[in-house]
Structure 1
């Protein structure tokens, strides 16, 4: 059986996460039992939610256990199979974690899914045609429920979730406005993804300044907001929300260093009769087939052209993850193993 390098969670962060929280180890993959599949991972997914699970705190999911492989999405190729329905060479997506190989019980629901790479690149199944894309799809359709002509805003617009959200919104006849960090990201959001406008939050020192820029980009106000960031960005958008607007809360990356994320204008929720709803996409598996079908179609048609930040080799995973938390990635953050 092949040697397998793995990153374990070695300690819990005190404040900001650091590379010292992870430990790289090497071992052998165990022999397969009946019903199991050996997968060689081609790409690992790095996602902001992983930071929350590094803490031993109450959340929507159990904390990442110490001394075990960091959990996360993977795509790869079956190299050995003792399970019906899988054969060597099959391309698959699963939750193999931060390691080069995984042994998967194929009969476990949702553990492993074969994918077609004839029109959708394998790596996209961790981004635009994977969990981030479905997250955007559900927040848009399940919570914001927009009508054609309405204005929708998304923070972290150049990221894996935000980019898919904007393309989906435009496909429904909505006006899509992004918020991103840096001129290059904003240019990509408008030029390549087709957003109507994008605001560089780094050009604004406070929520008031950012809100003024939003007023220019959203002359009809904001009907729906997809929240990935929190903090100053959320405050600025709240100031521009229309009455009876809707906010889908997906992430709060501003608070992933363990510090509180205050809300400056909570009275707006009452004054403007807003609906604010947080969601976890894994609790809505019933929408995944429909969402994935639409997302794959948008990619195949060239309408969704997601960017990827690709770190090379498993050794790069911790630093790439820490960079993701600071917004250094451009699009979906991946680690390429093969």
Structure 2
């Protein structure tokens, strides 16, 4: 017996990826509805070998549906997620709206699968920020072994994290650089993204950090351990798909780099590619389309007593969004709904 599934925002990058992953992982679906805003109404999307027509999110009746994946942004989520939840449909939300709500579990199944059992407080489960999701997958098994005191992370985030408009802007600006008569001014990003990097994602906060950096701190503490100290610098780079992170970790106890490598190799959701030779590491181009979070460049930090450096790469549309949402639904099926 399968589930009655709704995908809201089915015409966007993440919504389409959710449909792909549901089909790829053979998620037990008895019935599926795809929803979009009125401007995209009637657009056709693919689900496995099926072609589905989008329905109107504004008027959709969620009664009798089991799980709704929301990939529609905070504004539409604020309007429609409580409506779906009230109708008895469990919402798995990809926006930032509910991530810090104490009554809404924030879940990465490799890190805190038991948290899905708290979903009935509001019938909503939050999907973490893309940059946080891949980082906590790497941190969790190491924290279990040696207890993390502090994390310093610098991110190199692809333009797909800003949606289709971000990808289009990189494409158009790159073409314009080779055409002296063309000029494409920044619209989605604050400065030119082609052949450039921008140390600014989301809005600035009073302390000088950006909201993206704040999300990494708050979400990691909520899912992993509130006592961990975290500082982040989040940077947009001219890559279409795949987020990268340089992570420096300070532990309470000593952890040898070889043991850290072995622990990560045996941990769920992780693929270690760490050869100390030319090309012996993973880049965003190689991770695109893959389910795994890739770890490379594992090495001791000699500047502190108990430090490890590593390089973490993942497809942000998959583990950072759609894949994690589907894994949450799978965990929900095993621990809460128990009918798939």
TM-score (norm 2): 0.30
